[in-house]
Structure 1
C-alpha cells in the first residue's frame, strides 16, 4: 500500500487540491449563488503564497494562510458589489473577476513575475499535510450539509422568499458564501502553487472554471461526496485512458456529455438511488418475514388449543 501511495503521490495531491478548488464553487451553488469567484480566489491565494515566500521569506503555512485571508477578503468584497445579481449575470460577473485576476497578474511587474509568473516557491508540504487540510475542510463542509444549518441552506437555495418569511437572512447567507468560497479557493491555490513551486497567469484562466464545473456536474452538486467523486474521475482519467493516445480528449468530451445528459444528479445521485432501493427492499422484506413468523406462531397456538379441548 505504501509503495502505491508513494508512486501516485502527485496524483493524490492533485486530487485533493482539485477537490478544494471545486468546493470553492460548489459551496455557493448550494446556497443558490451561481458564482465562479472561487477560481479567481485560487489565483489570488496562489500568487499571495508564492509572493510571500519569494519576496518576504515566509514559511510554507504562514504564506498559505496569507493567501487564504487575502483571497477571502477580496471575494467577500466582490460579493458585496454583485449581491444584487442572480443566475447568468452573477456567473458572468464572477467569470470576469477571474479573468481580471489573470490580467492583474500579467501586469503585476516584479511582484507577480509578469507574464512569466513566479518560480521557486517550493513549500514544505507532504501528502499527509495536504490530506489533513482537505479532511478539515471536508468536515466543516459536512457540518453545513447536515442538521439545522443544512436545512436552512437548502431553504435559501430552493425558496429564498419562503426562507426570508421564516426569519432566515438570505442575504447574509449568500454574502458568507462568497467569504467561504474565497477562503477555500485561496487555500486550494496556495497549496497547488507551493506543491508545484510555480504559478503563471495561464494557470488562472477560464479552463479552471470548466474543470471545476465539470467535476461538480459529473460527481454531484449537492454534497462534497459528489465533488470528491468528480475530482477522482477527472484527475485519474488521463491515466485510465492513456492507451488511446490522441483520442484522449475525444473520450473526455464524450464522458462529459454523457454525464450531463444521463446523470442529472451526477454519479452520487446514482449511488444514492441504488442505496435507497436496497434499503427499501430490505424494509419490505423484514415485515414480510415478521408476518410469516407471527402467522406460524398463530397456527401453533390454534393447534395447541384444539389439542387441549376435551
Structure 2
C-alpha cells in the first residue's frame, strides 16, 4: 500500500498512456496507418472539460459525451480518407490531430486559447480508470482470437485475399476509425478530468511520437504489446532519474535500440523465445523402421549395389 501511495501518479500515467496507445495500436492491427486517436484524445478531453467547467455537466456524462463526439468525428474522417494507405493515410491523420490542436489554440474563451482549460477536476479515481481500461482491453483481447481475429489478420496481411474471400475490407477499415476514435476520446476525457487540465500542447505532434514509441517498444500485434510499451515508457524516466542530465540521452538510445533490434517489439521477442523453447522441448520422433521388403536374407537393409550383386548371383545359379 505504501508503494502504491508513493507511485500513484506514475500508475495513473501508465493507464492513461496505455489507453492512448491502444487507440493507435488497434488501427495498426487492421493494417490502417492512422494516428487519429491523438486528435480524438484532444476532442474528448476538451469536450469533457468544457462541459464540466462551463455547463456544469457531471463527470460521467461529460466523459460519455466527449467519447461519443470523438468517435463520431473520427468515423466521419474514416469515411473520407479510408481509401488512402501507407504514409498518405498517416500524414492525413497526423494533419487531423494538428488541426484539433490549432482549433483548441484559437478557440478563445471556450477552449482557453494557448493556456488551455484548468480546474476541470472530476470525480474520477485510479480505480475508475482501471475498470474502464479493463473493459477496453477485454474487448480488444476477444477480437484477437477466433474467426474474427483471423479475419482481422487477413485484412492486415493481404487485403486483396480478404476481399476475394468475401470480407468487406472497406467496412472493417471504417469501423476501425470509429473504435479508435472512441478509445482515444475516452482516454482524453478521463485523463483531463483526472488531472484537471488540458492544453493544446497535449494534442500536438509529440503525443503522436509518444504513442508510436509505446507501440514500437511493446509491439503492435496485440494489446499486450501496448501494455508492455506503456509500462516501459512511463516507468523508464523514473528508473533513470539517478542519471540526471543523461536521462534523455539514455532514454533515446534505448528507444533507438528497440526500434532497430526488436522489429516486433518486446512482445515479438518474447513470443519468438517461447516458440524456440517449445521447439527444443518437443521430443524428436523416432526414425521409422526399415520395411521387411527392403532387407536381404542376411537381415541387413539392402542397397542398390547389393541388389545388383544378388541378382547377378541368382542369374548365374540358374
Asked whether the two chains share a fold, i.e. TM above 0.5, the reply is yes
Matched, 1:175 2:174: yes
How far the C-alpha of 1:285 sits from its partner, in A, is 7.6
Cα deviations across residues 36-82 of structure 1 (Å, max 9, x unaligned)? 00000000000011011011111111111111100000010011111
In the alignment, which residue of structure 1 is the partner of 2:79? 80
Closer/same/farther in 2, CA of residues 58 and 160 from structure 1, 3 Å limit: same
The whole-number CA distance in structure 1 between the counterparts of 2:283 and 2:111 is 63
Distance in 1 (CA, whole Å) between partners of 2:115 and 2:126 is: 28
Shift of 1:126: 1.3
Please give the residue correspondences for 1:217-232 in structure 2 after superposition, counting only pairs within 5 Å.
Answer: 217-232=216-231
2:204 matches 1:212: no
1:75 alignment partner, SS class: helix
> Paired residue for 1:10?
9
Distance 1:267 1:67 in 2: 33
Computing the radius of gyration from Cα coordinates, the structure with the larger value is: 2
Deviations 1:99-138 (A, max 9, x none): 0000100111121111111111001111111111101000
Q: Give me the whole-angstrom Cα distance separating, in 2, the residues matched to 1:6 and 1:62.
A: 29
> Does residue 113 in structure 1 map to residue 136 in structure 2?
no
Counterpart secondary structure, 1:38:
helix
Matched, 1:40 2:39: yes
CA distance in 1, matches of 2:212, 2:201: 18
Structure 1: runs of 5+ lacking an equivalent: 288-310
Q: Say which SS state the counterpart of residue 119 (structure 1) adopts.
A: strand
1:140-191: CA deviation from partner (whole Å, max 9, x where unpaired) = 0001111111100000000001101101000000000000000000011011
User: Which has a greater percent of helix?
Assistant: 1
The SS at the match of 1:167 is coil
Q: Matched residue of 1:241: which SS?
A: helix
- Measured after TM superposition, the shift of residue 280 of structure 1 is 2.3
TM-score (ref. length: structure 1): 0.90
Counterpart CA distance in 2 for 1:156 and 1:187 is: 26
Q: Distance in 1 between matches of 2:66 and 2:187?
A: 10
- The 5-angstrom pairing of residues 124-143 of structure 1 reads 124-143=123-142
Q: TM-score, normalised by structure 2?
A: 0.88
2:314 corresponds to which residue? Answer: none
- Alpha-carbon distance, 1:275 to partner: 1.6
Q: Which residue of 1 aligns with 2:280?
A: 281
RMSD: 1.4
